[in-house]
A and B are shown apart, each in its own frame.
Chain A
Amino acid sequence: MKISFPIMGNSYLAFKQLVKDLGHEPIVAPLPTARTMSLGTMYSPEFACIPFKILLGTYLEAIEMGAEVIVSSGGHGPCRAGYYGILQQKIIEDLGYDTKIIIFDSFAKTYKEFISKLSWLIKTGNKSWWQLYQAFKPTWAKLKALDEIELLSHDIRPFEINTGETTRVYRKCLELMDEPVTKPQILEAKEVCLKLLKDIPQDQSRVPLKIGIIGEIYVLIEPFANLDIQATLGEMGVYTERAMNLFHWLTENTKVSHQEKKIIKAAQPYLREKIGGHGINSIGETIIYAERGFNGVIQIAPFSCIPEIVAKGILPQVSQDHGIPVMTIFLDEMMGKAGMQTRLEAFVDLLQQKRDYKLA
């Protein structure tokens, strides 16, 4: 069966492998482009958030390539993302396609359906549960490796001597990571990539500004949605740290980490209720970045994202109390790279002045 899946950051490299190992033919939709966006926007509700539109566009492109089944993750609200799949299925049906979207909701809450969906996938691919388990291990290792490589690239970029080199090397790393299949091969490829990145000529005497990037998880992870904010800032010589990465997204339904608890506790004086999505995280993370001595925080979220709007309403108070500048950027289908660049430059200039003033 031809199976496709959403594109979110680099995860497609690992999922492609998983689908293949399960005995199906993976359909990897093209990385999101302007065409994806306009396809998605055309058929989405006007006020749906940008992840909904990009995902729908991706699904439609995958359907053009022949996808019969699309596998995606669900949720239980109150963020709208948990309902994407159902509405997207209806929209796709209305357009006359018979592609099925299979949604995996939280295992803890819907374990029966979870297992029956999984067993259907295994059966149609003529594989066994044991083979699924076997296929799962390298997928997990690959996701972890991809995360590690991406994080390192963001650490190195502000120090690079030749602007743009890190991005070039990083693209090459992604190509390298596409090939390995088994776990040892993946680990080996990872080491090669890490070395390639570390070998980039760097100027360690720089003291870059530090900016924490918080907000909604999809736009944090998918560079097409956030107009490559981390690389843009990195090339401006700013060290950035992102509050969430792929691994967060994969594990958040299974356990609450120590770090997560800390974040929620930090947010308590400002927001006492979990409001879905990562609204409460945005508040807590801002406080933690302030405590860690970061120079500023940028909140990025899809236009009309409900939890992040609540967070945005509260952040000015947090910013004032903790003395950390916060800028919010809501992303929509009209956003252009130049507009983003201008806002980032202005923000960085202000942070620079603030730091110089403090030092003087």
Chain B
Amino acid sequence: MTQLKIGFPRTLFYFLYYPFWYTFFHELDCELITSQPTTQHSLNLGVAETVNDACLPIKLYHGHVAELKDQVDIMFMPRMVKVRKMETEVFCPKFLGLPDMVRNSISGLPRIIDEKIDLSKGRKPLWHTCKKIAKKIDKSGVGVWLAYKKAQRCQDKFHKYLALGMGAQEAIDVAVSGRNFQEPKKYETDINLAILGYPYLIYDSFVNVGMFERLSQMGIKPWTVEMVPSDRLEAQAKYLPKSLFWHFSNRTMRATYYYLHEQRVDGIIHVTAFGCGPDAMVDKLMELDAKNTGKMPFLTLSLDEQTGEAGIYTRIEAFVDMLRYRRGHHENIISHHG
């Protein structure tokens, strides 16, 4: 019997949850096929298929699905609703309706599994979800339990690598293949910048035009949301009178407070997608709090379909120049030129 081919778009949740699903399906004797890393082609496909008002990540997701649809028997698009026990925290509404958007926009789709991931209720909710998914591909019994356990271990390993500052793609490769971790090339760094934003922007080097590589070359040590110890991340909730409603936004906001209060960095860059709804709120909160907590330098980089390297780098360079200038001169010296 040939292996069942299951498709998993290489975007959005890929960067945080792929190791789990890869191991789970692999152990169940299925093949989990991902699309290629984002290219101009996937972006063009996405722009063509998606409702025009959607944000960049949603368009990319459509693009990846369109690229993948003819290569697989089943498209696996979990409906991400809640990933922890918090009453008001869900994913962005666009994620909640994503399988429906895709189903109603792209024609010629294979069979879809869009099981709801809601981990807010009951005991072992993830296990129950996995059981349901396994049932849909005619798998049951103890094998599913073993696959589930193994998938969890792989996912834990992956998070550990992320916390070490590894890029998501690399961490996925290491966690999934089990190959040894190689020390990345070391660069001299003199500036610490928190690069905060959602994983699907931060870790997709097509979307962010290879920002991280470039930052290292410029002598900047980037710090991400995933590098904040998870207990410290949760502890920052106290700075907001009311938690945000969106999982990734809460993580980003809390990481902002961590880098403002506990591990001061030289500056914060918020990476956001053009048209991102939650970020309209998050960005303003970050801006105000950066200003009011010891005047932290703050830059917003908005990425869209037209983003080019030159534009992004020019802005980052200017920002870093300012930081170095500020460090060289004492802040309260009035400029000699003006």
- Residues on A facing B (Cβ under 8 Å): 44-49, 76-80, 82-83, 86-87, 90-91, 94, 109, 270-277, 279, 303-307, 309-314, 316-317, 330
Does B135 interact with chain A (Cβ within 8 Å)? no
Q: Of A47, A78, A91, which contacts B93 at CB under 8 A?
A: A78
Shortest CB distance A211–B (Å): 22
Interface residues of B (CB under 8 A from A): 50-51, 53-54, 79, 81, 87-88, 90-94, 96-97, 99-101, 104-105, 116, 240-242, 244-246, 275-281, 283-285, 288, 291-292
Nearest CB in chain B to that of A305: its residue: B277
A270 to B105, alpha carbons, bound, how many Å?
A: 11
Is B281 within 8 A of A276, CB to CB? no
A304 touches B53 (CB 8 A): yes
Cα distance, A82 to B244, chains bound together (Å): 9
Provide the bound-state CA to CA distance between A48 and B278, in Å: 9
A-B contacts, CB under 8 A, total: 126
Q: Which of A78, A90, A109, A274 has the most CB of B within 10 A?
A: A78
Q: Please report the C-alpha to C-alpha distance between residue A78 and residue B51 in the assembled complex, in whole angstroms.
A: 20
B99 cross-chain contacts in A, Cβ below 8 A:
272
Enumerate chain A residues within 8 angstroms of B91, measured Cβ to Cβ: 78
Contacts of B51 in A (CB 8 A): 309, 312-313
Chain A residues with Cβ below 8 Å from B283 are: 45
Given contacts A80-B277, A109-B87, A309-B51, contact A314 B97 (CB under 8 A): yes
Given pairs A109-B87, A279-B93, A330-B53, 19 additional interface contacts (CB within 8 A): A44-B284, A46-B280, A48-B281, A76-B88, A76-B245, A78-B93, A80-B277, A80-B278, A83-B242, A86-B241, A94-B288, A272-B99, A273-B81, A273-B116, A305-B277, A310-B96, A313-B97, A314-B100, A317-B104
Question: Can you report 24 A-B residue pairs in the complex whose CB atoms are below 8 A from each other?
Answer: A44-B284, A48-B280, A76-B87, A76-B88, A77-B88, A77-B244, A77-B246, A83-B242, A83-B244, A86-B242, A90-B284, A270-B104, A271-B97, A271-B100, A272-B100, A273-B96, A273-B116, A277-B93, A279-B93, A304-B53, A304-B280, A313-B51, A313-B101, A316-B104
Structural contact, B284 and A309, CB atoms closer than 8 A = no
Cβ B92 vs Cβ A78 within 8 A: yes
Bound together, the chains give a CA A83 to CA B89 distance in angstroms of 12
A283 closest partner in B (C-beta): B100
**Given A86-B241, A271-B100, A330-B53, A310 contacting B280 (CB threshold 8 A):** no
CB atoms of A90 and B288 under 8 A apart? yes
Q: Judging by beta carbons under 8 Å apart, are A47 and B97 in contact?
A: no
> Chain B's nearest CB lies how many Å from the CB of A51?
12
CB proximity of B305 to chain A, nearest CB, Å:
16
Contact yes or no, B93 A307, CB < 8 A: yes
| CB contact between A78 and one of B54, B96, B104 (< 8 Å): that residue | B96
Q: Known contacts being A91-B288, A306-B93, is A273 close to B281, with CB within 8 Å?
A: no
Q: Report whether A310 and B277 are in contact in the complex, using a CB–CB cutoff of 8 Å.
A: no
Is B53's CB under 8 angstroms from A77's CB? no
> In the complex, A313 Cα to B277 Cα: how many Å?
16
B292 vs chain A, min Cβ distance (A): 8
- Contact for A304 among B79, B277, B285, CB less than 8 A: B277
For residue A93, give the distance in angstroms from its CB to the closest CB of chain B: 9
Nearest chain A CB to B125 CB, angstrom units: 16
What's the Cα separation between A303 and B241 when bound, in Å? 27
Chain A residues near B50: list those with CB within 8 A.
313
